[in-house]
Structure 1
Amino acid sequence: MKLLPLAALISTTLFASAAAHAADWPESFSKCAAQGGTCDVGSSKRQVSFGIKNKWVVKSLSGKVACTAATFGSDPYPNVDKKCAIGPLDGGTTPPVTPPVTPPVTPPAGSDVLKQAATGWASYTTGTRGGAAAPSTAVYLVSSPSQLLTALKAQAGKPAQIKVSGTIDMASSDNGGAFKSSTDQRVRSLISVPSNTTLIGAGSDARIVNGRIVISGVDNVVVRNLTIENPCDIAPIWDPKDTKTGNWNSQYDGMNVDGATHVWIDHNTFTDAPRTDDKFPIENGKRKQCHDGALDIKNGADYVTVSHNVFEMHEKNTLVGSSDNTTSDDGHLTVTFNNNHYRQVTARAPRVRFGKVHLYNNYYEGDRSAKLYEHHYSIGVGYKAKIISQQNVFDIMGAKECGDVVENSGSSSKVGAIIDSGSVLNNAALGVGGESCKISNAVGWTLPYVPAVIEASKVRESVLRNAGAGKLVVR
């Protein structure tokens, strides 16, 4: 569906206040009645709002106005008592309006937007369906930051489907333009996904640029079919003591799953391109690094499946567990990675602490001598990691043994564990537990679900055919 131009918008418009705190009417408006009461607007038409807590509708009205949903033709906050307020004369200065999302659309039967996680930890217990149960009034097609942010807030955690069309650039003029400071970037780059939501790309090239998708403290979220350009911190910090991570410290991940449950991340592409690391200058003797992680999963997140994604051209890809000191993560961080394609990824694919993590049928491509995104390791077995690995395939130029792709990322006193079956490195058995991969196999758990694992000989072709954005049918 096409978006309505601003000039053609109907007089009733849903928008959100730019104030930092929740307000019950737009700035410069004055309360005139509680819901069910009457506003005396006067003989001249004025802007009148109806709503509460940063959600209003505004109409141009005159005379005695009933403060009811029937008057305004919409209920911006169902089941909550609202207020009416009077604003400027019609034709005067009106508050800034966020263009609404397009009218709701119902995806036809067979569209991948209605699918739910079929395997992995996200399929466990209650399963993960996102917004599959959304009514037609909670299905949105969005193509700008303002529309996306409005749609994300509209249902307040009730089932919703949000379909992204084209490129949404969080630093576009629609959202205030280029970031002006680190604080400004933190605020305006945020895309916070509520519970019971499906966020999905429509078409073959739906993109999120200059944004960071945060799934924090919520339940039942699906993110699919998006190309996510990993955000670039406009003010990375130089730390001469931090030689382990390269001295330049940046904020902002492409996606962050933080304390959330039942999350399915499927058929997306995460990439640094076009702002790859070689585009940045050498400062303090090191390449200035503006990227942090592509996808991090931490702080007790549970029942997460990461499937059929492409992770490419990135250095520090995925952390599961934020630090050795976050011991509350032990017993949580139940995550499955399956059928993903890791291409030119330097490290952390993933790097695990504490979690019960299942890796199967993933395909890794890299080069340990590459000038850009040289391969360091793929799987990091950190403190109390409990990894079950099955039938993964590593095509890593220059890698000679298991220790080149599986790293003991802990220490002598903070060890993790991994067991593997059937994985191969450059067409030979991977050899976890052998001379170069002397890591404990005491993972202490077994799979609570039955995965559809294929043999390693079929993984390369299957992943190359199926992984990444643009492979789904979304209408």
Structure 2
Amino acid sequence: MKLLPLAALISTTLLASSAAHAADWPENFSKCAAQGGTCDIGTAKRQVSFGIKNKWVVKSLSGKVACTAATFGSDPYPGVDKKCALGPLDGTTPPVTPPVTPPVTPPVTPPVTPPVTPPVTPPAGTDPLTQAAPATGWASYSSGTRGGAAATQKEIYLVGSPSQLLAALKAQAGKPAQIKVYGTIDMTASDNGGAFKSASDQGARSLISIPSNTTLIGVGSDARIVNGRIMIKGADNVVVRNLTIANPCDIAPKWDPTDGSSGNWNSEYDGLNIDKSTHVWIDHNTFTDAPRTDDQFPTENGKLKQCHDGALDVKNGSDYVTVSNNVFELHEKNTLVGSSDSTTADDGHLTVTFHGNHYKQVTSRAPRVRFGKVHVYNNYYEGDRNAKLYAHHYSIGVGYKAKIVSQNNAFDVIGATECGDVIEASGSSSKTGAIIDSGSLLNGAALGLGGASCKFSNAIGWTLPYTPALLDTAKVRESVLRNAGAGKLSVR
């Protein structure tokens, strides 16, 4: 098996064992939409192909166009779902059939004459592939976080299957890399061995381990990871953006009769886990239990047979983490910062920022904090304390030695009447934490931290090392709904 970077001819696949996916479009084109979707071309005219399996038509287009036969005036492969791909700026239409063999050498020099139309490349500092974590969160602290921004063209990969993704991660092994995901990567796909056969098999084949200096990013609006668990462990300088991550479902959850007053089902595997890592930016993703929501599972031992664990956890001394502009939806136990009261080495670490996130029908842990110096601001929470599925229990959990700064968060929770309905003391009476708040609103009224239902220590013992770009709380809902989640970044 030979792995080729995106800079190599796209008509060559990453894996010899699978069909050449890039032959679904001409040489040096890149996918912009599946049939029926919308291709965002921009203001300058560019060549756009429509086809599949070495058959396509090409037109010169601009703006947002439908990826349909009607747009292109013909159907090059009737009865088969096709794809659209972007090529260079307006110029000579490529041949109908791609070359059988790639050129021996790449062009030595770029075109002499620059295009007269506006540049396709985003302005410096705004390209999602190379952007640094903004200076409004912990990930910007110290050396900052840029992931694989320093990758050369040979270190940029386009992957659409588990085997391609795992091969790209292995090939770089900590060297700067940009790994672009298109379509759905299902870790139970046939090229990764099919359906999980046992708990140990799931543990091994669901793992997606991200090394240092890596950007993992979705292309377009439909990049998804299913039946996988992303692990950032012992790494530095990692960015994950623009992906929909289906929270993994443990095929063998275990019943623990000693957990709680009446026992509980416990599951393994988080959607994304940050463990002993530094400088991590998790941005513009969507974490969800869908399509395998909890109501699809039976009740055993008097409790729902829960197969999901966390959506995103941060633990074991991880530092300089920003979690921004994500959607967390349809989930019970969302985010732990600090895994255990007994992990006292976490004290002074777990520096994490949560901002601009949308928590929608999330039962609890948004986040639940132990030890960490955690900043939670401009997030939007919505839920229903009486919902049949994912009823709201609490949002921010103040656990053992938590040191939380909360600012301008907006809570719209049906049935919540006081601060204690959304801010909970998550530790025992002897293992308490601290939190301060300014500007947050509960159902349009002042949150009331410090009132009878919400008494906490305010001795957080630290100050922000950066200046947050605080929105007025009245504007948080609109801003978050407009901006948060996967598919909001233009990645090609």
TM range (shorter): 0.7 to 0.9
- Residue 450 (str. 1) matches residue 443 (str. 2): no
CA distance in 2, matches of 1:245, 1:393: 34
| Aligned mate of 1:256, from 273, 285, 291 | 273
Amino acid paired to 2:444: N
SS of alignment partner, residue 257 of structure 1: strand
2:62 alignment partner in structure 1? none
For residues 130-169 of structure 1, what are the alpha-carbon distances to aligned partners after superposition, in whole Å with 9 as ceiling and x for unaligned? 0000000000000000000000011120100000000000
1:115 alignment partner in structure 2? 131
- Residue 418 (str. 1) matches residue 443 (str. 2): no
2:224 alignment partner in structure 1? 207
CA distance in 1, matches of 2:411, 2:322: 21
1:26 alignment partner in structure 2? none
For 1:143-158, what aligned pairs fall within 5 Å after superposition?
143-158=160-175
CA distance in 2, matches of 1:438, 1:180: 49
For residues 288-342 of structure 1, what are the alpha-carbon distances to aligned partners after superposition, in whole Å with 9 as ceiling and x for unaligned? 1000000000000000000000000000000000000000000000000000000
1:318 alignment partner in structure 2? 335
2:255 and 2:263 in contact (8 A); partners too: no
2:379 alignment partner in structure 1? 362
Length, aligned pairs only? 379
CA distance in 2, matches of 1:431, 1:245: 33
CA distance in 2, matches of 1:253, 1:7: 29
Q: Give % identity.
A: 77
CA distance in 1, matches of 2:377, 2:266: 31
Deviation at 1:433, TM superposition (A): 1.1
SS of alignment partner, residue 478 of structure 2: helix
Amino acid paired to 1:438: K
Change (3 A) 1:284 1:327: same
- Residue 292 (str. 1) matches residue 309 (str. 2): yes
SS of alignment partner, residue 463 of structure 2: coil
Extract structure 1 runs of 4+ deviating beyond 6 A: none
Change (3 A) 1:8 1:331: closer
| Aligned mate of 1:221, from 238, 254, 266 | 238
| Aligned mate of 1:341, from 358, 366, 380 | 358
1:14 alignment partner in structure 2? none
Which is further off, 404-413 or 335-344? 404-413
2:285 and 2:485 in contact (8 A); partners too: yes
CA distance in 2, matches of 1:393, 1:457: 8
1:409 alignment partner in structure 2? 426
CA distance in 2, matches of 1:194, 1:428: 44
For 1:457-468, what aligned pairs fall within 5 Å after superposition?
457-468=474-485
CA distance in 2, matches of 1:214, 1:403: 33
1:382 alignment partner in structure 2? 399
Change (3 A) 1:185 1:3: farther
Deviation at 1:422, TM superposition (A): 0.1
- Return the TM-score normalized by structure 2: 0.75
Q: Which 5+ residue runs of structure 1 have no aligned equivalent?
A: 10-103
2:138 and 2:321 in contact (8 A); partners too: yes
| Aligned mate of 1:139, from 152, 156, 161 | 156
For 1:143-292, what aligned pairs fall within 5 Å after superposition?
143-243=160-260, 247-292=264-309
2:411 alignment partner in structure 1? 394
2:399 and 2:433 in contact (8 A); partners too: yes
Deviation at 1:243, TM superposition (A): 2.5
Amino acid paired to 1:223: V
Amino acid paired to 1:125: S
Which is further off, 280-289 or 237-246? 237-246
CA distance in 1, matches of 2:488, 2:357: 13
CA distance in 1, matches of 2:365, 2:12: 40
Deviation at 1:241, TM superposition (A): 1.6
For residues 370-407 of structure 1, what are the alpha-carbon distances to aligned partners after superposition, in whole Å with 9 as ceiling and x for unaligned? 00000000000000000000000000000000000000
CA distance in 1, matches of 2:393, 2:356: 21
Change (3 A) 1:227 1:137: same
For 1:32-43, what aligned pairs fall within 5 Å after superposition?
none
CA distance in 2, matches of 1:285, 1:8: 49
Amino acid paired to 1:462: S
CA distance in 2, matches of 1:419, 1:108: 42
1:327 alignment partner in structure 2? 344
CA distance in 2, matches of 1:7, 1:255: 28
Change (3 A) 1:7 1:369: closer
SS of alignment partner, residue 345 of structure 2: helix
2:178 and 2:216 in contact (8 A); partners too: yes
CA distance in 2, matches of 1:375, 1:276: 15
RMSD (CA atoms): 1.5
CA distance in 1, matches of 2:388, 2:195: 30
Q: Which 5+ residue runs of structure 2 have no aligned equivalent?
A: 1-9, 21-105, 107-119
Amino acid paired to 1:262: H
CA distance in 2, matches of 1:264, 1:314: 21
CA distance in 1, matches of 2:286, 2:401: 29
CA distance in 2, matches of 1:133, 1:7: 30
Deviation at 1:460, TM superposition (A): 0.2
CA distance in 2, matches of 1:305, 1:267: 11
